[in-house]
Structure 1
Amino acid sequence: MKRFVVFCLFLFMAWLTVACETEATIPIVTDTELLDIEGLSVSRARLDIGGLYRIQEVRVPTNSHLPGTIISYEESFAPGTMIPLQSEVTVLVADPPEGAYSLSPMVAYVHDLGYLTGPQSLNHPLLVSVGIRGTDLGIPVRFHDEMVILYGDSVPASGFRPSVGNWFSNFVARTRDTRYHEGLLFDAVTTNEDGVVQPFAQGAHDANVADDQSDNPHREVTKIPTGGLAIGNDFYIFYMSVRYWGFPGQWFVTYNQVLKSSDDLQTFTPVEGLRFYEDEAPNFGQIFVVEDPDDNDRVYLFGKPGGRSGGTVLARTLKSHFEDRSQIDYYLGNNVWLKGDAGLAALTANPHYVIQPPCSEMSVMYNAYLGKWMAVYLRNSQIVMQTAEQVTGPFTNTQTITNTDHYTGLYGGFVHETFTRFNGQVFYLQLSLWHPDYQVKWIEVVLK
């Protein structure tokens, strides 16, 4: 027994000696490394930090980051900096920029980033050098690695006064700019050999005369773009031939025609057979083209009559048959598509609206952040967005983006999936103004 007690005492002393030596070799941690927490919410950042250090928020108005997310550490710190354990550092957290507002529950804020055209815009030196001071619309179309933007009636003087100087029915601008939160800078405008803006199809500029006061069914005031599409190296533009401007919001379209360019937008020629006359296709006076991100072979045509009072119908076609109108399928509702003239006649006789009237200057894109299709358009005195689970609609859940309380002469509101950030949580639209000046603005919309 005595020997056993002595043996146990020996083992205990040996263990104590080893434990003390081991403890002496364990370093005492007093510092920690700052993590990269840019773009995280404050609550998520604190979870990732796990109590190694504390963060103190300082709110900064900015549109560079989503509201409520971390911009950076204070100036003297950066990811990788070593600091004492349990110490406190300051982080800058994004707040909505000054002047931002929201009119709908889905919208975190709307922010006016200024003019894209006109004397107050970054593009003014380029535009005025080619003869443009006032313009509208701004329909975006992707073409390889750049964006092509289609503008409507344009004049070399402030305000829309076609009688003053030249009057261009339309023009094309191009850009590779990607810093959308700072604005949009054009790289070039298509011009003629004299360096003056070159419309892709100049209107006839006939007198603005009502149908009951004219015996000329072929008269034309102007040609206005309504949509565009690139297939390989071919670039297509849809335009409406406007024969008469009536009271505000009313205009009459004789036909919608597709043009094609195969020489990098230098010249355009009509595509034979791709013309939609008012008498046979009244719901396709204005056509906006949309590609499906999940189906690279097919495109969708959203159509509506001239003016701002109609609803929107839908058609589709394969890119491989794009120039063949007989291959277009028309959507009759309830998952029914009917091809060719029979489908067009059926849709004309009984229009199925995927966007209910009134709808004007619509544009449609797939928003990956929402996981839904999104339409943006003018509805009465508001620019609104609606969403749909399928491209066939129905587009519902109307959210107001902005209205005439903020812009007295607003219309348009064109979007494209390229002009987005944060996977579509932030998107940008081109807003046309008739008053106080005939120009286009760049508007940022941030979703919750």
Structure 2
Amino acid sequence: MFRAGRSLGVFGVVAALAAAAVTAVASPAMAAPGCVGVSGVGSSGGPANAAPWLNGNTGGLPGLSGRTTAIEKITGTYSPNKTVDRFNVLGTDLGIMWDNGAGQILTAFGDTTGLSRNPTCDGLVGEWRSNVLFRSSDRVLADGMRIDSAPKDGTGQAREIISGLKIPGVEASSIPTSGIAVNGVQYLSYMSVRNWGEAGQWSTNYSQIATSSDNGETWTMRPETLRPNIGGVLPAGVAPVAGSENFQMSSMVKDGGFVYNYGTPAGRSGEVRLSRVPEGAILDLSAYEYWNGNGWIRADPAAAVPVMGGRIGEISVQYNEFLGKFVAMYADAFSSIVMRTAPSPVGPWTAPETLVNLVEVPGIYAAYIHPWSSGSDLYFLATTWADYNVMLMRTTLVR
């Protein structure tokens, strides 16, 4: 397990030089003679300058009132994980966590930037990857979450695990939305983003599942799980399926031999619908059942009705032993992080309780529950737009 200590690798050296020259490189460089082109940072994503000392932010943790506290930056320049030095992860978002079933938490991130290897052509910030994955075995979360390892490319940086075309209007990016482990296999749902729009709005081509049998090192796309979206750029012979537009993003949780999938449309303004499938049939769309408010309907996503209303962004659902209930977290219409609970996967869900107010932390989003939360401590990751990095937070639960 990686703990505090300073060792400047190649990316650390670049970071030190960059910090010294910050005033000279405050914006990406224009293409210089001999450059093939300028690499985009792209995405929903982070500012082009995903470093606090470039984008005018302090990089510090927010001070909060109430039952929620910010514990530690997990990624970026100010993280004890040294993600710039070790993985060339300067800026990223999301942080979707699941238990791999073998003593580690796997965490998938969204659009990721690093320090460019060719700043003359690309500017200081580049090395855009649509997604990366970290592994952690840290069970002592009160002082942070240490990262053990990540799948890397030949240069030593965390590599993109699910490739995307990176062509706006066709496929701008491939973004993870949920992960789960069943019988030693890792399942990662992701969305093929066609275009990024205004804040909190985007369009998708489809959602799909990828699988890994080597603890997230390599992934296989599973086209048999593809859920086409209306208006999406789809593979030949694939047509939209009524109701699939409501399952472009998801949160998967296991209960009673089933995998429950809480689905939302693309973006941060959809209601939540629910499907379930036996654990052993997760790749078989014909085996999925959809909650219609009274019971389960087989293989008909259009039958699903909302189980949670309102404008809901990037939902995360886990069962909580302390409460003896299912807990859902997400960013609401006001960009505050809220929590709801329910006695069963279908509900009924309580009214939202605000955990982090947008006034205290502007631009916060993507709250993902840590599966190893215990007792009254509910740990979660969240992203701040200004710093475009992920931090670990904790809220105290009350029965």
TM-score in terms of structure 2 length: 0.76
Match of 2:351 in 1: 397
Q: Is the 8 A contact 1:128 1:156 kept in 2?
A: no
Match of 2:310 in 1: 357
In structure 1, what is the Cα distance between the partners aligned to 2:165 and 2:381? 27
Q: Which stretches in structure 2 are left out of the alignment for 5+ residues?
A: 1-61, 117-121, 231-240
List per-residue Cα deviations over 1:259-290 (Å, max 9, x = no partner). 01112322111113101111321101102111
- Of 253, 262, 283, 1:323 maps to 283
Alignment of 1:349-428 (within 5 A): 352-380=305-333, 381-418=335-372, 420-422=373-375, 425-428=376-379
- Of 101, 104, 112, 2:65 maps to 101
In structure 2, what is the Cα distance between the partners aligned to 1:360 and 1:231? 26
In structure 2, what is the Cα distance between the partners aligned to 1:169 and 1:272? 19
Alignment of 1:31-180 (within 5 A): 101-102=65-66, 109-124=67-82, 126-143=83-100, 144-157=102-115, 164-180=125-141
- Bigger radius of gyration among the two: 1
List per-residue Cα deviations over 1:337-366 (Å, max 9, x = no partner). 0111xx22333xxxx111112100100111
TM-score in terms of structure 1 length: 0.68
Q: Is the 8 A contact 2:322 2:374 kept in 1?
A: no
In structure 2, what is the Cα distance between the partners aligned to 1:123 and 1:443? 16
SS of the residue 1:320 aligns to: helix
In structure 2, what is the Cα distance between the partners aligned to 1:353 and 1:396? 14
Match of 1:68 in 2: none
List per-residue Cα deviations over 1:81-123 (Å, max 9, x = no partner). xxxxxxxxxxxxxxxxx95521xxxxxx111112111111111
Work out whether 1:259 is the aligned partner of 2:259.
no
In structure 2, what is the Cα distance between the partners aligned to 1:312 and 1:273? 23
In structure 1, what is the Cα distance between the partners aligned to 2:270 and 2:144? 32
In structure 2, what is the Cα distance between the partners aligned to 1:101 and 1:405? 11
Aligned length: 317
In structure 1, what is the Cα distance between the partners aligned to 2:209 and 2:131? 14
> Per chain length, whose mean CA-contact separation is higher, i.e. which structure has more relative contact order (CA < 8 Å, sep 6+)?
2
Aligned-residue CA RMSD in angstroms?
Answer: 1.8
Match of 2:296 in 1: 337
Q: Is the 8 A contact 1:249 1:307 kept in 2?
A: yes
Q: 1:100 to 1:249 in 2, by over 3 A?
A: closer
Q: Is the 8 A contact 1:134 1:157 kept in 2?
A: no
Q: Identity of paired residues, percent?
A: 32
Q: Which stretches in structure 1 are left out of the alignment for 5+ residues?
A: 1-97, 103-108, 210-218
Q: 1:417 to 1:196 in 2, by over 3 A?
A: closer
List per-residue Cα deviations over 1:50-76 (Å, max 9, x = no partner). xxxxxxxxxxxxxxxxxxxxxxxxxxx
SS of the residue 2:382 aligns to: strand
- Of 369, 382, 399, 1:431 maps to 382
Cα deviation for residue 433 of structure 1 reads 0.9
Work out whether 1:445 is the aligned partner of 2:362.
no
